[in-house]
């Protein structure tokens, strides 16, 4: 089946640092989504990307849809304590109803 | 605006007991509906999805079943729970029109099997 490789699995950073995480696949996707999940809650959509090369920002968050359509990255600038959580990428192959999820990146921030 | 509700938020059940988790969506019609399971706070496994009333697609063979008795209602069930059914269950919806619409999640049900 289709797989998404999300890295890194974990990040431990200082408050104020920038963060970068990415997802790659051997399959071609026509949608990339980035979610954040707080403990005990459902994932919340952060950014949705629909075109190769698309670069979209949401506050301090920036995500890009890779030109090859096989990867995407998410950057967080000037991290703050409320950025702590698990970030998931998800992608949809052309014509598919289902999303494929990465395994998540757990972000921990030291004040 | 659209909202999604899941209940209960937490559930502790003995092995062999039945299960019924409910999910409802408000503010939209004919949504696509999904049930996921998440183990240990990482990785979402799609269990079932539905594109309409009475239409259920199962992704993995398991001890669970799903039903969609009404347009905006999605139910996850089991006749006899196993220890391995423990986990965090998430319901999600996406608009029924437009193939590339993102999914939106409920707050989940944490199920513990004793």
What is the rounded CA–CA span in Å between residue B54 and residue B49?
11
The three-point CA angle B91-A27-B100 to 5° equals 45
Reported as a single tens digit per residue, the pLDDT across A70-102 is 999 999 999 999 999 999 999 988 767 788 999
Amino acid A2: pLDDT: 56
Would you place residue A16 in the very low, low, confident or very high pLDDT band (cuts 50, 70, 90)? very high
Q: Do A39 and B41 touch (CB under 8 A)?
A: yes
Rounded Cα distance between A25 and A71, Å, is: 6
B54 to chain A nearest CA, in Å?
17
Tell me the pLDDT of chain B (114 aa) as tens digits.
899 999 999 999 999 999 999 999 999 999 999 999 998 757 899 999 999 999 999 988 778 999 999 999 999 999 999 999 999 999 999 998 776 789 999 999 999 999
- Cβ separation B44–A43 shorter than 8 A: yes
Q: Is A98 exposed, middle or buried (0-12, 13-18, 19+ CB in 10 A)?
A: middle
Distance from CA of B31 to the nearest CA of A (A): 12
Handedness of CA B57, B59, B65, B68 (dihedral sign): negative
On chain B, the residues whose CB falls within 8 A of the CB of A30 are 100
- B100/A92 touch (CB, cutoff 8 Å), yes or no: yes
| Residue pLDDT, tens place only, B68-94 | 999 999 999 999 999 999 999 999 999
Token couple for B51 = 């594109």
């Amino acid at each position: 089946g289709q797989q998404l490789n999300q890295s890194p699995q974990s990040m431990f950073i200082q408050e104020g640092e920038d963060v970068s995480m990415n997802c790659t696949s051997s399959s071609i996707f026509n949608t990339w989504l980035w979610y954040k999940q707080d403990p005990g809650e459902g994932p919340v959509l952060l950014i949705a990307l629909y075109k190769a090369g698309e670069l979209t920002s949401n506050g301090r968050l920036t995500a890009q849809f890779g030109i090859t359509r096989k990867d995407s990255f998410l950057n967080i600038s000037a991290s703050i304590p409320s950025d702590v959580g698990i970030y998931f990428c998800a992608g949809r192959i052309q014509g598919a109803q289902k999303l494929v999820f990465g395994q998540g990146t757990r972000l921990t921030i030291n004040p | 605006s659209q909202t999604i509700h899941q209940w209960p938020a937490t559930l502790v059940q003995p092995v062999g007991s039945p299960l019924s988790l409910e999910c409802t969506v408000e503010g939209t019609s004919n949504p696509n509906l999904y049930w996921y399971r998440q183990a240990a706070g990482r990785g979402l496994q799609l269990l079932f999805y539905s594109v309409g009333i009475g239409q259920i697609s199962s992704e993995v063979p398991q001890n669970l079943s799903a039903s969609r008795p009404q347009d905006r209602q999605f139910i996850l069930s089991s006749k006899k729970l196993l220890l391995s059914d423990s986990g965090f269950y998430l319901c999600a919806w996406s608009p029924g029109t437009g193939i590339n619409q993102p999914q939106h999640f409920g707050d989940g049900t944490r199920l513990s099997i004793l």
